[in-house]
Amino acid sequence: MEKLVICMEGSYLNIKGGTKLYYRISGIGHPLVCIHGFGADSSAYRLTEKILSRKFMVVTMDLRGHGRTTTKDDNISFESMANDIEALLGYLELSEVSLLGWSMGGAVAMEYISIYGQERLRDLILVETSPKVVNDGDWKEGLFNGEYTIEMARADLSQIKNDFMGFATGFMKRMAPHMDSENQEILIKTMQDNNPDIMACVWENIISSDFRKTVGDIEVPCLVINGEESTFYSVESGQQLSETLKKGRHITIRGGHLAPIENPVEFNRAIERFLD
């Protein structure tokens, strides 16, 4: 069923419990639902919306606790974010969806699958993400190319609670070391505009989650994308993720963790080819 284009200003979906979920729909055709990362918002996909909405229906949203989405719930979790996604897909009557999760958005997509299964999905795209962020004795495919330990995670959580502005600046500069300073500052401000208490709650979800079992149960075709110069996840971690999936395929594109912004032409072309 084709739906009319909704203006780029977006709309809100009222969800039980007092959450107002901000979302946008651009274009008509096969639905591509895009989930952003930690501290970001739907504007991370502005170039994907612009290009791919010529051929597909591109649905973006601000996750609970991020951007323009407001909530009365202080205890934000991946589960509540997944519930919001299901509420939106149900409201829009979408099925045979291509679900795209970038960075933390990949974890939220895996949480969605762990709760709601794959009934609404046609396929899955995981961009610069991992089923487990914290590395330990038997897992070296997590954050910072396998070097991010639980001690580092706890230190980051403490800084988020006590100096979120400083954390956001350092985190973004490590995420995009080669990005020009003007665009880097825009992304830093986007992150800093979020509530530090909520960001601390979200970070606790990030560092405590483990979706390795979920990945092994995914039946739909899945494209795994890594940035060749990523400071966050190694190309090898993406290859291993794709091999764990039953119908996984792995590619790399030029750029780092923010490759969809740094190299939108190659990123959008890869998505279009996969969806076709």
The Cα angle at residue 60 between residues 113 and 165, in degrees rounded to 5: 95
Give the global pTM: 0.95
Q: Domain coordinates of the chain in residue numbers?
A: 11-132+210-275
C-beta neighbour count of 128 within 10 angstroms: 28
Per-residue pLDDT reduced to its tens digit, 25-52? 999 999 999 999 999 999 999 999 999 9
Per-residue pLDDT reduced to its tens digit, 193-248? 999 999 999 999 999 999 999 999 999 999 999 999 999 999 999 999 999 999 99
Per-residue pLDDT reduced to its tens digit, 80-139? 999 999 999 999 999 999 999 999 999 999 999 999 999 999 999 999 999 999 999 999
Q: Report residue 127 as tokens.
A: 């961009």
**What pLDDT, on a 0 to 100 scale, did the predictor assign at position 75?**
76
Residue 217 main-chain phi, psi, to 5 deg: -100, -5
Give the domain 11-132+210-275 fold: Rossmann fold (3.40.50)
- Classify burial at 47, counting beta carbons within 10 Å of its beta carbon; exposed 0-12, middle 13-18, buried 19 or more: middle
**Half-sphere exposure (CA, 13 Å, Cβ side) for 231?**
11
**Half-sphere exposure (CA, 13 Å, Cβ side) for 12?**
12
Q: What is the DSSP string of 211-235?
A: -HHHHHH--S-EEEEEETT-SSS-H
